[in-house]
Amino acid sequence: MQQFINGLSLGSSYALLGIGVTLVWGVLGILTFAHAQTMTIGAYAALITLDRGYPVIVGVIAGLVVAGLFSGLMDLALFTPLRRKRAPEFAFVIVTIGVSQISDAFEASRTRSQTLPFPRKGFPVEPLTLLGRNVPRLSLVMLVTSVIVMAMLGYWLHRTKSGTAVRAVAYSRDTGELLGINSKWIFASCFFISGTLAALAGIFLAASSGQLSHSSNDAILLLAFAVIVLGGMGSIRGAIVGGLLLGLVSVYATVYVSSVFREAVAMLTILVVLVVRPSGLFGEKATTRV
């Protein structure tokens, strides 16, 4: 039972990661390697604000806005011209690798490659005893946050006019434009929202580990991709279920098989799911993947 709770709490951070990627990659189909850097930038912005003595909520909002602007501007400055030129999809991937390279170098030079302590004061970090079990309170908050964000994203994408416009543009940009949708702003706002969600995950992860460095999010980028691949492309609910499942698999595999799996579970998941069931758990069937 304790293992189950550990798995869920690990999974809740994975789910939050997945939520951040799902909009840009899952819905719009752009594989972005700059996601880890967006998370780090948001966490840095929050850290700077918190160090100035502002309350936690201000710090979180500052992080969200800065990362959102970073992500939205990246879309307007780089992806809009690429889209106009109808560049092949790998061009987007390479541009995001370039962006992550530049911002990583920038952060490393600003912080002199040091790991900074992240203030945990004000975050709900103390453990909670529930039904006689130890439950990390921060994981609970993360789980609740990801479920709320998932519900909001799902409502937005499927029930509102602007969300429907996003899905229309994702399906076919030309058709969307013919229907009078300004695809440029749809893409930019999706990137802005995805940036804020990335920052949310970045801030929570920094608060749970209590430290932050320019490379602290590099390793978990593949985890985020694994969550989306497992949950299924384009499925918001898949991101949550995929994240929780990945956390559970990771914990149980570590306990019953070998600790190797804790690190390798993301890669193995990507490989196995792409080969066996490319559409993931909840994804729609698409022929372009295989």
Partner 1 sequence: MFNWLSPLQVFTLDTTMITTVLVVAVHIAFRAGLFNLAPLGFAAIGGYTTALLVTKQHWPTLLGIIAGIIGAAVLAGLFALPVLRLRGIYLALGTVALAQAIVIGISNFDFTNGTLGIDRIPNRVTTLELMILLIVLFVLLELERRSHFGRAAAAVRLDERTASGLGINIRRIRLYSFIISAALAGLAGALEAHRTTVISPEQYGFGVLIPIFVYALVGGDGHWLGPVLVCWAIVVLRQYIDFAGSAWEHYIYGVLLIVMMMLAPSGLTDPKLLRKLRFRKSRRLRLAAERAAADEAAAVAAEVERAARSGGDPVDASTIISQAPSIAAAP
Site residues, partner 1 (CB under 8 A) = 31, 78, 81-82, 87-91, 93-95, 97-102, 104-106, 108-109, 218, 222, 225-226, 229, 258-260, 263-264, 266-268, 270-271, 274-275, 278, 288-290
- In the bound state with partner 1, the residue whose beta carbon lies nearer, of 196 and 254, is 254
- In the bound state with partner 1, the residue whose beta carbon lies nearer, of 211 and 258, is 258
Task: Using the CB atoms, write b or e for 48-80: b if 16+ within 10 Å.
Answer: ebbeeeeebeebbbbbbbbbbbbbbebbeebbe
User: Closest approach of Cβ 29 to partner 1, in Å?
Assistant: 8
- In the bound state with partner 1, the residue whose beta carbon lies nearer, of 98 and 117, is 98
User: Closest approach of Cβ 217 to partner 1, in Å?
Assistant: 13
Helix (H, G, I), strand (E, B) or coil at 210: coil
- In the bound state with partner 1, the residue whose beta carbon lies nearer, of 13 and 100, is 100
Contact (Cβ atoms closer than 8 angstroms) between residue 51 and residue 275: no
CB atoms within 10 A of CB 284: 10
User: Closest approach of Cβ 80 to partner 1, in Å?
Assistant: 11
Contact (Cβ atoms closer than 8 angstroms) between residue 51 and residue 185: no
User: Closest approach of Cβ 169 to partner 1, in Å?
Assistant: 19
Contact (Cβ atoms closer than 8 angstroms) between residue 29 and residue 170: yes
User: Closest approach of Cβ 56 to partner 1, in Å?
Assistant: 32
* Residue among 65, 46, 66 at smallest CA distance from 123: 46
- In the bound state with partner 1, the residue whose beta carbon lies nearer, of 85 and 121, is 85
Alpha carbon distance 240, 227 (integer Å): 8
